[in-house]
Amino acid sequence: MLSTRWALETFIGRLAALSPLTPDDVEALSALTIEPVRLRGNFDIITPGQEFHDACLIVSGLVARFIQLRDGRRQFTAFHMPGDLADIHRVATPLAGSSLQTLCTTTIVRVPATQLKAVALASPTITHAFFAYAAVDAAVLAQWAVNAGRRDAQSRMAHFLCEVAIRSEQSGQGSREEFILEASQGQIGDALGLTSVHVNRTLKALRQSNAISIDGRIIRILNWPLLAAHGDFDEGYLQLLEQARAA
């Protein structure tokens, strides 16, 4: 199930949803895979300032992009789930402004940036798809900024859970009603700009309103309309480009 091939096909499928790929495109992209690497949790894939010449395709597990402050506190700026390509910008530069770390035991495939770039430039439809993929990344990041800047803790959490739910569903890792989130409450706090203590209280409140239930790392959304309303969540931004293609 969670094989290297599965991850690559999921990624290609997502690209295909963004830009109609030709059979040649799919073939070129399918040739990308190199050896998978298994990493423990809390492993630093990239540290800032350092040059890094590979992109990361996530096969299983969970990877977070983050920026760290001098005092050690940090803010996650993205979660990357199985089937995601974590470093699409590596096409443009080997320098990273942010760090990448596994949140749990994770399998990734390192795709050399040179290969990625060659594939991108070889086909206009792939170029287009890569742009669109980066645009979705940016749309998600914008929502995280809105979360941190303008929503209170419960709305943030609700919006965040809705996003993870949809993305889990999109990558075939679960449904929007039930999925696995391999992150501790402290790590969720780093994504939302909250402390682990307040994440705990916020989750408790959402549980008590019967919007969600939690069993270990399994999240169940019991009342989707309630949660979506609470988080002011509109899934459009996650499907923006699929819609564009349909039009």
Binding residues vs DNA (CB under 7 A): 152-154, 184-186, 193-198, 200-204, 214, 216
- What letter represents residue 158's amino acid? A
Query: Residue 195: which of DNA, a second copy, none does it interact with, CB under 5 to 8 A by kind?
Result: DNA
Cα–Cα distance between 204 and 198 in angstroms, integer? 10
Query: Contacts with a second copy: how many residues (CB under 8 A)?
Result: 54
**DSSP letter, residue 91:** G
Among 25, 54, 137, 163, binds a second copy (CB under 8 A): 137
**Shortest Cβ 39–a second copy spacing (Å):** 23
Q: Does 94 bind a second copy (CB under 8 A)?
A: yes
54-60: strand order across its sheet: 36-39, 106-112, 54-60
Piece of 5-13, 100-108, 123-131, 161-169 that binds a second copy (CB under 8 A): 123-131
Query: What is the footprint of a second copy within residues 227-246 (CB under 8 A)?
Result: 232, 236-237, 240-241, 243-244
Piece of 73-81, 200-208, 210-218, 219-227 that binds a second copy (CB under 8 A): 73-81
Phi, psi of 96 (to 5 degrees): -110, 135
**Pairing state between β 106-112 and 74-80:** unpaired
- Closer residue to a second copy, CB minimum distance, 4 or 184: 184
Phi, psi of 33 (to 5 degrees): -55, 135
**Pairing state between β 212-215 and 74-80:** unpaired
- Closer residue to a second copy, CB minimum distance, 18 or 59: 18
Please, what's the largest Cα pairwise distance for the chain?
53
Q: Return the closest-CA partner of residue 140 out of 228, 239, 246, 219.
A: 239
Contact 139, 237 (CB under 8 A): yes
Query: What is the footprint of a second copy within residues 157-196 (CB under 8 A)?
Result: 192-193
Task: Count CA within 13 A, CB hemisphere, residue 108.
Answer: 31
Which residues of this chain interact with a second copy, rule CB under 8 A?
Answer: 18-19, 49, 51, 65, 67, 69-70, 73-75, 77, 89, 91-95, 97-98, 117, 120-121, 124, 127-128, 130-132, 134-135, 137-139, 141-146, 148-151, 192-193, 232, 236-237, 240-241, 243-244, 247
